[in-house]
Amino acid sequence: MGKPATKRQNFDVTPEQEAEIGWLREALGAPTAKDTLLRAVRIASILAREARSGRVLMLGGATGPAERLIVPELEHPAAGEWKYLVQREHPWRRQMSVKGRRLLAATVWRDMVANSQAPAEAAEEWGIPVEAVLEAVRWCEANRGLLDLEAQEERRRLAATGTSVAAAG
């Protein structure tokens, strides 16, 4: 039997990414950066398969109830489930946007709630069909955990740039 076919992977990482890989290497007890990345890929593959089959990841301690852990990279809506919403490419954000617009579903939903608007009023304000507003509301209410996580990440990123931000209540 011959040697298995291999392919060389070569990519650049930022100092922050290198630090994350170093932390993960220690956490996983991996001897090399390569082993760290391969173990992380294996773990992510297992989690992705389970998430796609409808299972959720729960975390809990010795006391208190378990809570759902939301991993944005694993949160994918069912294909074809949405008529007015689409997933846009973004480095870390996974929430949906209104098709044909650079308008996040959460922006429509939060604005509607903050201004005590009916769906028809929100639709008129944003210039989108009422059905698109209803779809955005349905998606946002079903994905509150993801939206909270993304808001937390946005606050963290802003704070890292020195921008003063207040946590939402």
Look up the domain containing 24 and give its range.
Answer: 16-52
Angstrom distance (rounded) from CA 127 to CA 110:
16
pLDDT by residue (tens digit) across 127-163?
Answer: 999 999 999 998 998 888 889 988 888 888 898 888 8
State whether 87 and 156 are in the same domain.
Answer: yes
State whether 48 and 83 are in the same domain.
Answer: no
Say if 145 falls within a structural domain: yes
Q: Which amino acid is at 126?
A: W
pLDDT by residue (tens digit) across 43-91?
Answer: 998 988 887 777 778 888 888 888 877 776 676 555 457 889 998 888 8
State whether 106 and 152 are in the same domain.
Answer: yes
Say if 124 falls within a structural domain: yes
State whether 131 and 92 are in the same domain.
Answer: yes
For the chain, give the number of residues. Answer: 169
Q: Which amino acid is at 46?
A: I
Domains: count for the chain: 2
Say if 6 falls within a structural domain: no
